[in-house]
Copies of this chain bind each other. A is one copy, B any other.
Amino acid sequence: MPPDPRPVTPVDPGPSLTVIALLGVPEVRPGDDLATMILDAIEATPGVVPLRADDVLVVTQKVVSKAEGAIVDLKAVEPRPEAVEFGKAWDRDPRQLEVVLREAARVVRMEHGVLITETPHGFICANGGVDASNVGPASGSVVTLLPKDPDASAARIRHAIRERHGVDVPVVISDSFGRPWRWGIVDVAIGVSGLLPIEDLRGSPDRDGRVMKSTIRAVADELASAAELALGKVAGRPAAIVRGAAFTRGEGSIRDALMPASWDLFR
C-alpha cells in the first residue's frame, strides 16, 4: 500500500465508453508540431468533435519521441564490450543494447536475452523503452528513446486542445510494456496531464457498505490499454480518444504511479 494515500471520491462510470482511433495522422518527423497534427486528426475523424468533458486523449510514445527528436541512429553508436558480448550470445543488435545502457539509471536484469532497466523517469521496462520498430523507412538503424519528460509532452498537447477547442481534455502518453510472469505487452501510461493516474478508493464504501481496503485503480494504465485495442500495432494509428471512462480530473503526474524503491519487492 502506498505510504501516502490520496483518497478520492469514486466516479461512477457511465454505462458505456467508446474508443475512437484518430485517422489521418501523417508520418511524424523530428521537429514536427505534433499537437497541431493531432488537432487536425481530431477534426478529420468523424464523431470526435465536439470534444466532451468525459474525453481523454491517448497518444502513443513513438510519435511523441519522433516529434521531440528523441531518436538515435545506431550507425553512429559504438557498443561497449558488454553490449557486444550480450548481443552475440542472444542475437541482438549490440548498438541498441549500448543505447539502452547509456539511457539507463540502473540495470534491473540483463540475462536470458532480456535487458530490463530503470529509466531516469523511474520506469522499469524492457530495453528502457528504446524501440526499433516502425521508425522511418526500413533502414533498420534508427531507434526511438522515451520522451525526456512525458508529463510535459502530455501537457503541451492538452494545452493546444484547450486553446483551439475550449475543452480541457486530459492527455495520456502510452507505451507498450511487458510484465513479469505473463507473456506479451500491454499499453500503459508513461505521461499524463489533467487526470490522476492512480485513483485511490481506499476508505470508500463498496456496494455492501463495507470500506474497501486495497482498491487503488491504475486508471491511466487502463486508458492506455483500452486505446491500444483500437489502435493495434500495424495500422499507423498513433492516437485515440477514450470517451466515457471513469476517471478523476486533477493535476496528476506519472510519478504518482511509480512505486518507490522502499516498497519494491522485485528490485
Residues of A within 8 A of B (CB): 1-2, 10-21, 23, 45, 47, 109, 111-114, 116, 123-124, 126, 132-138, 140, 176, 179-188, 197-199, 201, 204-210, 212-219, 221-223, 225-226, 228-236, 242, 244-247, 256-259, 263-266
Contact = CB atoms under 8 A, between A and B. Distances in A.
Contact of A21 (B15, B111, B209): B15
Contacts of A47: 16
B138 A208 contact: yes
Task: Kindly name the residue among A112, A230, A244 whose own CB sees the greatest number of chain B CB atoms within 10 A.
Answer: A230
A218 B13 contact: no
A246 B187 CA distance: 14
Contacts of A226: 17, 19, 222, 225-226, 229
Task: Kindly name the residue among A204, A218, A221 whose own CB sees the greatest number of chain B CB atoms within 10 A.
Answer: A218
Main secondary structure on A side of the interface with B? loop
Contacts of A265: 109, 111-112, 114, 116, 180
Given A124-B181, A216-B185, A206 B221 contact: no
B180 A205 contact: no
B16 A213 contact: no
A160 to B, nearest CB: 23
Contacts of A222: 186-187, 225-226, 228-229
A225 B258 contact: no
Contact of A183 (B186, B187, B208, B258): B258
8 contacts: A16-B18, A132-B213, A184-B217, A185-B216, A186-B221, A221-B225, A225-B226, A230-B245
